[in-house]
Structures are given as C-alpha cells and as structure tokens.
Amino acid sequence: MGNLQGKAATLYCLGRIYANKGDVEQALALYNQSLEINERIGYIQGKAATLDCLGRIYANKGEVDEARSHFLISLWKYLNALVMS
C-alpha cells in the first residue's frame, strides 16, 4: 500500500501544480488518477483531499453542481474519517 499511497500523493501534488499553472485539463486528469488509487487502497483522507481539489476546479470553471457534488462527498469523507479514527 505504501507505494500506491505515495503514487497517489505524487499525482495529487502534480495536479496542484498544473491547477496553479492554469492547465485545468491536465490537473483534472492527475487528480482523477490520484482519486482512483485512493479509492482502490481505501485511503479516505487522500480521497477527501482530492475530491476537494476537484470541487475547486469545477467551481472555478463555473460548474456549480459538479463542484457542490465533489465538495459534499469530500466533506462526508472527512467526517467519516474523523469518526473512524
């Protein structure tokens, strides 16, 4: 799991770099890869953080419903992680 968690974290960081540069499509692709790995390994905190970043991108694009969906799922994941710890 350590290697996959590290890979997910690296993809997440790369997604942030591309998002900050304004390359939204590349950022989305990297965040989605990170999200897929986090889902596969069951890393809730990583999934929640990635969903939050996806929500920010969609909000910046004006896709309010998509953003809201990602933010709500992210919040649910964060709260679930708090209860589980």
State if pTM tops 0.85. Answer: yes
> What topology does CATH give the domain 2-84?
1.25.40
Residue ranges covered by each domain of the chain: 2-84
Tell me, what's the pLDDT at 41? 95
Cα–Cα distance measured from residue 47 to residue 40, given in angstroms and rounded to the nearest whole number = 10
Tell me, what's the pLDDT at 83? 84
Q: Mean pLDDT, consecutive 10-residue segments, the chain of 85 residues?
A: 88 98 97 97 93 96 95 89 79
